[in-house]
Amino acid sequence: MNNFIKGKANDVTFLIVTFKSAESIHKCINSIPDKYPILVIENSADNFFKSDLEKKYNNVKCILTEENLGFGKANNIGLNLIQSKYTFLINPDVLLTSNTTEQLIYYSQKIKDFALLAPVLNNLEDKNYSIYKKKLPKVNKSEYLEVDSIRGFAMFFNMSKFKSIGFFDEKIFIYFEEDDLCRRVRNLNQKIYLIFSSKVVHKGGRSHNKEFNEQMELSRNWHYMWSYYYYYKKHFTFLYALLITFDKVISYSLKVFFYTLLFNKNKKKYKQRLSGLLNSYMGKSSWYRPKV
Give residue 10's pLDDT: 57
- Give which of 138, 137, 136, 134 is closest to 151, Cα–Cα: 134
Are residue 26 and residue 160 in the same domain, yes or no? yes
How far from 42 is each of 19, 22, 68, 277, CA to CA, in Å?
A: 6, 11, 8, 28
Residue 71 placed within a domain: yes
Give residue 133's pLDDT: 47
The CB-side HSE value for 26 (13 A sphere, CA atoms) comes to 8
Residue 232 placed within a domain: yes
The residue count of the chain comes to: 292
* 144 touches 195 (CB < 8 A): yes
The amino acid that residue 213 corresponds to is: N
Are residue 272 and residue 173 in the same domain, yes or no? no
Could you list the residue range(s) of the whole structural domain that residue 259 is in? 212-281
pLDDT digits (tens, 9 = 90+) for 109-148: 999 899 999 999 876 444 444 444 454 455 455 589 999 9
- Give which of 129, 133, 177, 173 is closest to 152, Cα–Cα: 177
Using the 3D structure, point to which of 159, 183, 202 is the last residue of a domain. 202
Are residue 72 and residue 124 in the same domain, yes or no? yes
Q: For the chain, how many structural domains are there in total?
A: 2
Are residue 119 and residue 242 in the same domain, yes or no? no
Give residue 24's pLDDT: 86
Give residue 135's pLDDT: 47
CATH number at residue 89: 3.90.550.10
- Give which of 229, 208, 270, 254 is closest to 42, Cα–Cα: 208
Spans of the chain, pLDDT less than 50: 124-133, 135-136, 139
pLDDT digits (tens, 9 = 90+) for 73-98: 999 999 999 999 999 999 999 999 98
Are residue 194 and residue 74 in the same domain, yes or no? yes
The CB-side HSE value for 5 (13 A sphere, CA atoms) comes to 7
| 46: three-class secondary structure by DSSP | coil
pTM of the model: 0.89
